[in-house]
Chain A
Amino acid sequence: MKAGSTASAFVAVLRRDLVVFWRHRSDALNPLVFALIVVTMFPLSLGPESQRLAPIAGGVTFVTVVLASLLSLDALFRSDAEDGSLDLLVTSGQPLALIAAARLLAHWLGTGLPLTLAGPLFATLLGLPYAAAATLAGALALGTPLLSLIGGACAALTVGLRRSGILLALLVLPLTLPVLIFGAGAVEAAASGATVQVPLLFLAAGLALALPLAPLACAAAIRLNVS
């Protein structure tokens, strides 16, 4: 790969983010621990009867994953804004949308993917029937990238603001409601034996739409905040 080419820039940003992430790998567990704690709150508040928990297991897991993936969003562009790396990326002459895409991919690998893998485990703790666990995994595999994409665009919008954590949540959550609806709906359908194609296809379609658009929105937001 030629140094200075677009492909090398993409790989370089991705690699750099993953190295930085790895150097703080103890922080990386935080979203997972958070998710586990939230999942634990449900039997504690509703009682441990599986008749109560099993029907809501899929939905609760999905809500928890959405909230947990919010945690690492605020920091997504913030450190780059503070140390001048964002200026560097904007003036690099490389397509900013592609660089943003690398950043979003790194976020998914660091936060979304672990949550996707842990999700079915959490749901099983709540009594989700095994038949639906595979659907949950699939819905999470489609949904968590969407969360990274949408969340990343909103994080880029708020990068210059102090104390933007709550505001970021207020921006991201309404936009991610369709992911929740289709994802949890798919699990519901699987648990009750109905067809899961429709919601999963909608998630896939949403992902296909967001993949090109979210990095573009990200890049526009970054340029706005850098100027």
Chain B
Amino acid sequence: MPEDADLDLPLIAARALAYSRGDETIFGPLDFAVRPGETLVLEGANGAGKTTLIRVLAGLMPPSAGTIEWRGEPIDTLEPDPGRIAMLGHQLGLKADLTPRENLRFRIALGGIRGGITAAAALKSVGLEGYEDTTVRTLSAGQRKRTALAALLMTPTWVWLLDEPYANLDREGQVLVDRMLEAHALRGGATILTSHGLVHPSIARVATRALGVPA
């Protein structure tokens, strides 16, 4: 992650962003911008379109209207760059037949690694010490989530898009997520995360803003 982030320029912004399937409006039009160091919480009831919004921001789905801007430029005019966005969705993107260490090694080869961290250190910091070399298939849902968080910890990306990051985690795990969000913000990164109404108490501490997604 480059160190000279211009703190005034929003990393990622949505301008009149909307998505509809057929006649049904899933969300929008929405306007928001997230600057380095900010954490935006998307609140809304189940089915309000938060997951769709995350997927549109990640570039998986094209918006029906509006644009996404990256540091002021419309994102579809820019060259694809692995260092921009990391997404953690409902499905974790882990291969069940590989071990956490192997999964992380794959992620590093695919998208690079942040300076100052190693796969082993990442796994240790999420509390998976001792489980690095058992296949993901044998891990519990919480442990798999932690593996995915370790992968997130290593990515050299500016913006994190997290869909329900607290799901499947115990109290300790939730604190872990809070710590990660804080550290990411301190490094100059930005986060957009979804939470369905039951906002974790410590989110208030890390979140700079909340945005309600109208259903």
Using CB atoms and an 8 Å cutoff, list the residues of chain A in contact with chain B.
Answer: 2-4, 8-9, 11-13, 15-16, 19-20, 23-24, 79, 82-85, 87-95, 226-227
Question: Is B214 an interface residue when CB atoms closer than 8 A count as contact?
Answer: no
Which 10 pairs across A and B sit closest by C-beta, in order of nearness? A4-B112, A84-B91, A12-B109, A93-B82, A88-B93, A84-B93, A227-B61, A8-B109, A93-B80, A23-B97
Q: How far is the CA of A8 from the CA of B95 in the complex (A)?
A: 18
Q: How far is the CA of A13 from the CA of B113 in the complex (A)?
A: 17
Q: How far is the CA of A94 from the CA of B84 in the complex (A)?
A: 12
Chain A interface secondary structure, helix, strand, loop or mixed?
A: helix
Tally inter-chain residue pairs, CB-CB below 8 A.
94
What are 16 A-B interface contacts by the 8 Å CB criterion?
A: A3-B113, A4-B112, A8-B110, A12-B106, A15-B106, A19-B98, A20-B97, A20-B98, A83-B92, A85-B93, A87-B87, A87-B91, A91-B59, A92-B110, A93-B82, A226-B60
Please give 15 more A-B residue pairs, beta carbons under 8 A apart, in addition to A87-B60, A90-B60, A93-B84.
A2-B112, A4-B112, A4-B113, A12-B105, A16-B102, A19-B102, A20-B97, A23-B97, A84-B89, A84-B93, A85-B93, A87-B93, A88-B110, A93-B83, A227-B60
Determine how close the nearest CB of chain A comes to the CB of B55; give it in whole angstroms: 8
Question: Is B128 an interface residue when CB atoms closer than 8 A count as contact?
Answer: no
Question: Is B90 an interface residue when CB atoms closer than 8 A count as contact?
Answer: yes
Determine how close the nearest CB of chain B comes to the CB of A86; give it in whole angstroms: 9
Most chain A CB atoms below 10 A, which of B85, B91, B98, B109? B109
Q: How far is the CA of A216 from the CA of B27 in the complex (A)?
A: 31
Question: Is B121 an interface residue when CB atoms closer than 8 A count as contact?
Answer: no
Question: Is B156 an interface residue when CB atoms closer than 8 A count as contact?
Answer: yes
Question: Is B8 an interface residue when CB atoms closer than 8 A count as contact?
Answer: no
The answer to whether A16 touches B106, judged by C-beta atoms less than 8 angstroms apart, is yes
Contact for A4 among B58, B62, B108, CB less than 8 A: B108
Q: How far is the CA of A93 from the CA of B112 in the complex (A)?
A: 11
Residues of B near A3 (CB, < 8 A) are 108-109, 112-113
Minimum CB distance partner of B109 in chain A? A12
Contact for A91 among B58, B92, B113, B135, CB less than 8 A: B58
Q: How far is the CA of A15 from the CA of B103 in the complex (A)?
A: 11
Minimum CB distance partner of A22 in chain B? B97
Q: How far is the CA of A85 from the CA of B141 in the complex (A)?
A: 17
Residues of B near A82 (CB, < 8 A) are 91
Residues of A near B105 (CB, < 8 A) are 12
**Given A12-B109, A20-B97, is A87 in contact with B89 using a C-beta cutoff of 8 Å?**
yes
Residues of A near B81 (CB, < 8 A) are 93
Question: Is B96 an interface residue when CB atoms closer than 8 A count as contact?
Answer: yes
